[in-house]
Amino acid sequence: MTVYGYARVSTQSQELESQIQALENEEATVIFQEKFTGTKTDRPQLNKLLGALQANDKLVVTKLDRLARNTKEGIEIIESLFNKGVRVHVLNLGLLEDTTIGRFFLQTLLAVAEMERNLIVERTQEGKAIAKQNPDYREGRKKVYTSKQLDHAMGLLDTNSYNQVVALTGISKSTLIREVKKRRISQDKLSGKK
């Protein structure tokens, strides 16, 4: 019997150490790990792990959502492991058993995990929709200068050079040039020029 572990984080900036340590504490001798979002279908390390597991082996994961993207996939993965004779140990739940109660428990937990993920996505989208109502909202990186600051700088350019406006406002020359071009394009559109 081999004890396998699987650790996954969703982004490159997240670390796997705490999961790996927890798996090693459960005597996992072979640990597969990867940094892939839970929504991605292609998880090469998970696929290798599923191919390596044999009857009487044990798979240890810290949480169910590390293993599956959604309820359907989680049930499919764990049922295929049950069919192979693999035991599945989810550290924050315990050993999942291939029984009617065990399967019901699994389905319920995976459904709750999927619902939580969907609620997070909904809240993020709602927050973005509210933010978009602000006229200064811009997708991506936050604006360094407000519309008022840029209007003031554009007014100063009427009587000053770029370098003088940079010295007066602290706004870089490249930002000023970009803003001038953007306003010209906008003005041309309003006046019907191409």
Angle of helix 44-52 relative to helix 71-84, nearest 10 degrees, comes to: 30
CA neighbor of 3 nearest in space, from 30, 22, 34 = 30
- From the centroid of its chain, how far is CA 162? 41
DSSP letter, residue 15: -
Identify residue 88 by its one-letter amino acid code: V
CB of 44 closer than 8 Å to CB of 18: no
How many CA atoms does the CB half-sphere of 131 hold within 13 Å? Answer: 11
Active-site pick, 10, 80, 174, 186: 10
CB of 64 closer than 8 Å to CB of 38: no
For residue 35 the two structure tokens come to 């940094």
CB of 71 closer than 8 Å to CB of 114: yes
Residues paired with 6 in a beta bridge? 32, 61
161 is catalytic: no
**Residues labelled as active-site residues:** 10
